[in-house]
Structure 1
Amino acid sequence: MPKALITGAAGFIGYHLSKRLLADGYEVIGFDAMTDYYEVALKERRQQMLLQNSAFKAVNDRLEADGVLMDLITDEKPDVIVHLAAQAGVRYSIDNPKSYVEANLIGTFNLLEAVRANPCSHLLMASTSSVYGANTEMPYAETHKADSQMSFYAATKKANEAMGHSYAHLYDLPITMFRFFTVYGPWGRPDMALFKFTKAILNGDAIDVYNHGDMRRDFTYIDDLVAGIAMLIDAAPVRPAPGEAVPEGDSLSPVAPFRVVNIGNSEPVQLMAFIEAIEAALGQEAKKNFMDMQPGDVPATWADGTLLNTLTGYGPQTSVPDGVANFVAWYRDYYGV
């Protein structure tokens, strides 16, 4: 039975990925700090459901705590590590940037050091579409330059990519960074738009619509994202031989077993169309509070999914109306509304 360590396993994506890998026959060690960035009860419920599987083991601690990851990885020696744990959120990074330094920079450094001392077959680490920042060329391709991050959150994730590349080069560690695009679905995060909109509409409250609705997002359903990650596990990058050319469109480093891969729906959706899908699923029209763009935000995201498809043969399967309807059904059931 292969063993996987998933950091952030009680989080939205970590929970779904843990379920997927357990179903695929993995033993899963789920590491999570159970922070109060959003309601801890939701994380506890996810973790409790995972613990119903005897192949799942929970470890609750912080990435940035000295020695914790080193001891865990030395003891457990996982075959694969998927690093999802991070302080998330674009707007929160303006109010509390230090938490991003601690979790995203120091925590990721601790993980890289632990993997350097205990190499695994493949380390996969979460990045974000936010690293594309002020880029206007779309769809975003992994080979595009991404040096104009517009939030501190995005800056820490771009730093994680650079840190990962240096460790891959220096210590021959196979590392894949995957860039997420606006993930949504059942058991989602309460700070994300779909969750907030659904809650507000059901309560009869107005929803805040930024940039007066003139925004597009590459909304990615959770099952599609997790399928992409699971398939990438078997696509570990290999350092090119000296003088070997990197295939066109591949983000593989010429000097390291390191690659960046987009995982998105590859079809940007207007924010107002997304809201209409929520209204349709709820059978209720939203009251709308149109607002200016928020600091650190971008007007559009759009993933080029060619590389993911080339590496795994996989592409997104879930339409936005279907994905939103699945979330609304879960929300009504979980909260009894």
Structure 2
Amino acid sequence: MTESRTALVTGSAGFIGFWLSRVLLDAGFEVVGLDSMSDYYDVGLKQARLDELSGRDGFVQHTAKVEDAEAVRAIFDDHRPDVVVHLAGQAGVRHSLKAPRDYVDANLVGTFNIMEGTREFGCQHLLMASTSSVYGANTEMPYREADKVDTQMSFYAATKKANEAMAHSYAHLHNIPTTMFRFFTVYGPWGRPDMAPYLFTSAILKGEAINVYNHGDMKRDFTYVADLVEAIRLLIDAVPEKDAGDSGSPVAPYRIVNIGNAAPVKLGDFIAAIEAATGKTATRNLMDIQPGDVPATWADTSLLSSLTGFTPSTPIENGVQNYVDWFRDYYGAA
């Protein structure tokens, strides 16, 4: 039931926020977007995403940082959202090695401001982005939401684990139904230019070598973006209750949900899919693993399936072909 419901989507000019905003508009939501339009990566790409949304009925965009408490409060006061999907934040494992304060500001202070908005003005359901990176040094796979997660290997992951703890406390103290998503390596059209699909595709099309870390001995649970946002849309109506008995809490209406493809793919196979989609062969520059990286990720998605009846399942070949087709169209690549 989406009639007359308003969703605040933070990070609306971002990769996932843009896709989710489209899906929610299609489902009948009024969507209030919030994005800082930071220059962490190409602002032109962010603006192009917003241009796709700006003509849609029911969409309104605000430009502000989530760490700006007054701006965030004003948006809550003006729109009184029924649902909040908090996707904004500083992303990137490698950037967190160079600029950790960015993660304190956006991921800790910014998330606190969003939680304060829901506390003061209320909402039916707060949903927030975490990451598979919180599983850190865990080696038992597939990763399950109830696994102990105390060994984060990057500061980015540490801030996301802190977000989970912060959200649980607010869910308990203020009875705010809250769902945390743990995303697994999201890719697809309109993807970020700092991520492997862009870096690989761009280099392969130009005939340049690609950097393959850990000598290619990596596996990732690549998740196609359309599958991911469909899962979020469905989870909006799976409002957690106290002591739900799954990945929830005995003292708060709170839940953690993995969103992944439940099928880890070898990095070499992902590169091969790009080669097939581009019709070109990659030259591989094999390198050591980077600090903060983990060798493998793999999501157990049984909880997502039980809550929504949906499991992401786009084959890597299809998703990569869609991405390469979009890349060629958007960037004018041969």
Residue number in structure 2 paired with 1:243: none
Residue number in structure 1 paired with 2:227: 224
Counterpart-to-counterpart distance in 2, 1:168 and 1:75: 23
The alpha-carbon deviation at position 54 of structure 1 amounts to 2.2
The alpha-carbon deviation at position 317 of structure 1 amounts to 3.0
Residue number in structure 1 paired with 2:95: 92
Unaligned stretches of 5+ residues in structure 1: 241-245
- List, as ranges, runs of 4+ consecutive aligned residues in structure 1 with deviation greater than 4 Å: none
Residue 278 in 1 paired to residue 274 in 2? yes
Counterpart-to-counterpart distance in 1, 2:268 and 2:304: 28
Q: 2:82 aligns with which of 79, 88, 91?
A: 79
The alpha-carbon deviation at position 66 of structure 1 amounts to 2.7
Counterpart-to-counterpart distance in 2, 1:86 and 1:112: 14
Residues 161-310 of structure 1 aligned to structure 2 (within 5 Å): 161-240=164-243, 246-247=244-245, 250-310=246-306
- Local SS of the residue matching 1:67: helix
Residue number in structure 2 paired with 1:330: 326
Residue number in structure 1 paired with 2:55: 52
Alignment size in residue pairs? 330
Give deviations 1:61-80, integer Å, cap 9, x for gaps.
00111311111102210110
Q: Which amino acid aligns with 1:117?
A: E
Q: Which amino acid aligns with 2:178?
A: I
The alpha-carbon deviation at position 176 of structure 1 amounts to 0.1
The alpha-carbon deviation at position 203 of structure 1 amounts to 1.1
Counterpart-to-counterpart distance in 2, 1:273 and 1:221: 15
Q: Which amino acid aligns with 1:269?
A: V
Q: CA RMSD in A?
A: 0.7
- Local SS of the residue matching 2:69: coil
Q: Which amino acid aligns with 1:67?
A: E
Counterpart-to-counterpart distance in 1, 2:69 and 2:256: 28
Percent identity between the two aligned chains: 62
The alpha-carbon deviation at position 210 of structure 1 amounts to 0.3
Q: Which amino acid aligns with 1:92?
A: H
Residue number in structure 2 paired with 1:107: 110
Counterpart-to-counterpart distance in 2, 1:312 and 1:283: 38
Unaligned stretches of 5+ residues in structure 2: none
Counterpart-to-counterpart distance in 2, 1:231 and 1:266: 18
Counterpart-to-counterpart distance in 1, 2:313 and 2:156: 29
Give deviations 1:218-272, integer Å, cap 9, x for gaps.
00000100010000000010113xxxxx53xx10111100000000000000000
Q: TM-score normalized by structure 2? A: 0.98
Counterpart-to-counterpart distance in 2, 1:235 and 1:80: 12
Give deviations 1:80-127, integer Å, cap 9, x for gaps.
000000100000000000000000000001111111001100000000
Counterpart-to-counterpart distance in 2, 1:28 and 1:17: 10
